[in-house]
Amino acid sequence: MMLSGPEILKQTKPSLWGKTKYLFTRNPIHLRPNIIIEPFDPKFCGSNSYDIHLGPALRFYHKDVELPPKDENATYEVVMTPEDGYLLWPGEFCLGTTVEYTETYNLVPQLSGRSSTARMGLAIHVTAGFGDDGFCGNWTLEIVNLSNNLVRLLPGMRLGQLYYLPIKGKSKEYAGRYKGQREATACRLYKDNQNGA
């Protein structure tokens, strides 16, 4: 079961129960809505999802880097201009980020590509379309051109959508290594070894 568009809009505002609890506790956490999207525009809320946009910076792994990378220096950034964007070659892979900063509480956010971008052979996530309760940040997109043609990426293009699933049972908020990210973030598997995992 997923949230409808009207329910997504409703969940972007504090609940009546939360406002009531705030009056008694003065704890601002009760005024926090379950869905925070910044910038937010109701016109991008569809029948059961919210459209997300591509930010201007793309991140690429250096050609000589073996993956998984050993540190944060494995990538370089390319900033797109609105006029030219970036031409993604067949089979080429890069990391992008959403324009939108999001926070989600008491729900599971999920990311999916739009059908229009999929019909060009453009995938916006390899396998990491699943979000977590408590995640906050801009979403990193794993963008790959699966077509046989050049695909032009443009900053601000609508290329995906977020949808939301309710949680059954007690949930633990996400506190992982990508929480709070504000830009395209490369693989951080090397932190597993640093943490003794």
Please give the single-letter amino acid code of residue 65.
V
CA dist., res. 83 & res. 154, Å (int):
8
CA dist., res. 113 & res. 122, Å (int):
8
Annotated catalytic residue within 7, 92, 142, 183? 142
CB atoms within 10 A of CB 11: 19
CB atoms within 10 A of CB 46: 14
Smallest CA-to-CA distance from 137 within 179, 82, 88, 109 is with 179
Asked if 142 is an active-site residue, the reply is: yes
Catalytic residues: 142
